[in-house]
Amino acid sequence: MPRNIQVEKAQVPPIEKQPLEIVERKGVGHPDTLLDAIVEETSRNLCRYYRSQFGRILHMNVDKGSLAGGRARVEFGGGEMLEPIYICVVGRATTEVLNKDGTITYVPYGKIAVDSIKHTLKDVLRNLDPLQHVLMDYRIKSGSADLTSVFDGTGETIPRANDTSFGVGFAPLSETEHIVYQTEKLLNSDKFKRKHPEVGEDIKVMGLRTDNTIELTVAAAIVAKYTHDIDHYAGVITDIRNAVIEQAVKLTSREITAEVNTADRPKMGAAGVFLTITGTSAEMGDDAGVGRGNRGNGLITPCRPMSLEATAGKNPVNHSGKLYNVLAQRAAERIVKEEAGVSEAYVKILSRIGHPLDQPLVASAELVMADGASWNSVRDSVASIVDAEVADVCTLKDLILDGKISLF
């Protein structure tokens, strides 16, 4: 059956020629990113359990959850947690399976959820003890009958979409987007942490480009036990700023400015600066929800098309809200890589619940053409690229489960 593939010229100027651009990235230790990572880890571990025990992935979506910040008393050189961080994974799953012999196999979904929380926190946060600093919880119930039937289908080769939703992707990244992304990666790299153990994992980077000036605003949690006094703290902030600028000037010829922890009030001492015990603001009242953070390409880009769909925690077999965001991003990246006449590509893919995933309601590519490029030379080839990527949608499942695709 032919797919509804549409290829059009974009009606916006290239992003680099627009006068203003805003870009954000929430780092791995930011509460929103932490919660996304936790529900995605729970999703993957449930899928792996289903496949190992029953030979296939069963109905499951754990794409909801909550992180309620704790309460801490912090001072230079240390501090103590007064109330733990509360993390709860919420969703639907196959909780028991009726075997052919009439017996029931119960799925240990609660243990899987708690172990996933614990593993994610230990993997991301160097200075947090999950057993001491976190109260781990779950609210996972059996799935609704109609969505379970959509998932199970009737033996079709191609799964049917369990939602009417859309995915969005674009390529390539602009200079500002690339700088914001790489800034967080720098500050959370092992190399930087070895040199500056004072810097926690809760990093947020905001970039503003106005014409040819890029202003970076960085929020960085500082770990108290490695920070002796306010002068030490100030020195770390200066080191962060210098490292950010040093890297950024290698990535652009535009003017770069950077400020770090601009809400600090050093005269107030420890109480007036971004000082933490664990390296994340989740320890002191900063709450989180799934899907409030980075989009599928790892950025928040209000000057570009975006989907508000949360990719984390959704079933990788048939949830179009997850798969189509990945699919759209891959298609956009392939277009600009293979078609020299395209300077920017925007891909949008819309599903219809109950229809095969490889038959979206529409798959649209909007192209910003390079100067002098021929429209007729790329239109059909771009349509073929999008068509091929949509046809290949079922291969994304294993890439996601193997952690080979970044979702936030």
Among candidate residues 8, 9, 2, 23, the one with its CA nearest the CA of residue 303:
23
The tally of CA atoms less than 13 A away on the side-chain side of residue 250 is 7
Quick one: average pLDDT of 192-200? 98
The tally of CA atoms less than 13 A away on the side-chain side of residue 41 is 21
Binned at pLDDT 50, 70 and 90, residue 1 comes out as confident
Quick one: average pLDDT of 188-204? 98
Tell me: pLDDT of 326 over 90: yes
Note whether residue 24 is domain-resident.
Answer: no
**Cα of 296 vs its chain's centroid, Å:** 5
CATH number for the domain including 240? 3.30.300.340
Tell me: pLDDT of 235 over 50: yes
- Helix (H), strand (E) at residue 217: strand 213-223
Note whether residue 277 is domain-resident.
Answer: yes
CB 315 within 8 A of CB 159: no
Token digits of residue 108? 């240990």
Instruction: Please give the pLDDT value at position 377.
Output: 83
Among candidate residues 313, 296, 289, 405, the one with its CA nearest the CA of residue 47:
313
Cα–Cα distance for residue pair 392/387, rounded to 1 Å: 9
Identify the domain boundary among 223, 257, 289. Answer: 289
Quick one: average pLDDT of 166-194? 98
CATH number for the domain including 57? 3.30.300.10
Token digits of residue 143? 């799935």
Q: What angle, 0 to 180 degrees and rounded to 10, lies between the N-to-C axes of helices 109-124 and 31-54?
A: 140
Co-location of 313 and 325 in the same domain: yes
Co-location of 9 and 64 in the same domain: no
Co-location of 343 and 386 in the same domain: yes
Tell me: pLDDT of 163 over 50: yes
Tell me whether strands 362-369 and 342-350 are parallel, antiparallel or unpaired.
antiparallel
Co-location of 168 and 313 in the same domain: yes
Instruction: Please give the pLDDT value at position 225.
Output: 97
Residue 9: strand pairing partners: 367
Among candidate residues 52, 335, 6, 395, the one with its CA nearest the CA of residue 171:
335
Amino acid at 215: E
Overall size of the chain counted in residues: 408
Report which DSSP code applies to 340.
T
Residue 205: strand pairing partners: 25, 218
Co-location of 279 and 314 in the same domain: no
The total of structural domains in the chain comes to 3
Note whether residue 19 is domain-resident.
Answer: no
Tell me: pLDDT of 141 over 80: yes
Cα–Cα distance for residue pair 167/319, rounded to 1 Å: 11
Co-location of 284 and 301 in the same domain: no
Note whether residue 75 is domain-resident.
Answer: yes
Note whether residue 23 is domain-resident.
Answer: no
Note whether residue 278 is domain-resident.
Answer: yes
Amino acid at 93: A
**Which residue intervals of 154-256 are DSSP H helices?**
175-187, 190-195, 230-248
Co-location of 282 and 378 in the same domain: no
Binned at pLDDT 50, 70 and 90, residue 145 comes out as very low
Q: Coil, strand, or helix at residue 86?
A: strand
Report which DSSP code applies to 312.
T
Tell me whether strands 96-98 and 255-260 are parallel, antiparallel or unpaired.
unpaired
Among candidate residues 112, 125, 87, 102, the one with its CA nearest the CA of residue 289:
87
Cβ atoms within 10 Å of 271's Cβ, excluding its own:
10
How many helices (DSSP H) and strands (DSSP E) are in the chain? Answer: 10, 17
Identify the domain boundary among 263, 289, 315. Answer: 289
Note whether residue 22 is domain-resident.
Answer: no
Co-location of 198 and 140 in the same domain: no
Tell me whether strands 134-142 and 85-93 are parallel, antiparallel or unpaired.
parallel
Co-location of 340 and 271 in the same domain: no
Co-location of 184 and 333 in the same domain: no
Quick one: average pLDDT of 137-164? 75
Cα–Cα distance for residue pair 405/223, rounded to 1 Å: 30
DSSP string of 345-394, one letter each residue: EEEEEE--TTSBTTS-SEEEEEEEEPTT--HHHHHHHHHHHHHHHHHTGG
Identify the domain boundary among 230, 258, 289. Answer: 289
CATH number for the domain including 388? 3.30.300.280
Report which DSSP code applies to 95.
-
Amino acid at 11: Q
Instruction: Please give the pLDDT value at position 157.
Output: 86
What range defines the domain where residue 258 resides? Answer: 175-289
Cβ atoms within 10 Å of 42's Cβ, excluding its own:
30
Token digits of residue 184? 């967080």
Cα–Cα distance for residue pair 243/186, rounded to 1 Å: 8
Q: Coil, strand, or helix at residue 189?
A: coil
CB 282 within 8 A of CB 67: yes
Note whether residue 158 is domain-resident.
Answer: no
Quick one: average pLDDT of 327-339? 98
Co-location of 273 and 352 in the same domain: no
Tell me: pLDDT of 372 over 90: no
Co-location of 217 and 350 in the same domain: no
Q: Give me the chain's average pLDDT, please.
A: 95
Residue 106: strand pairing partners: 96
Tell me whether strands 213-223 and 275-276 are parallel, antiparallel or unpaired.
parallel
pLDDT digits (tens, 9 = 90+) for 244-276: 999 999 999 999 999 999 999 999 999 999 999
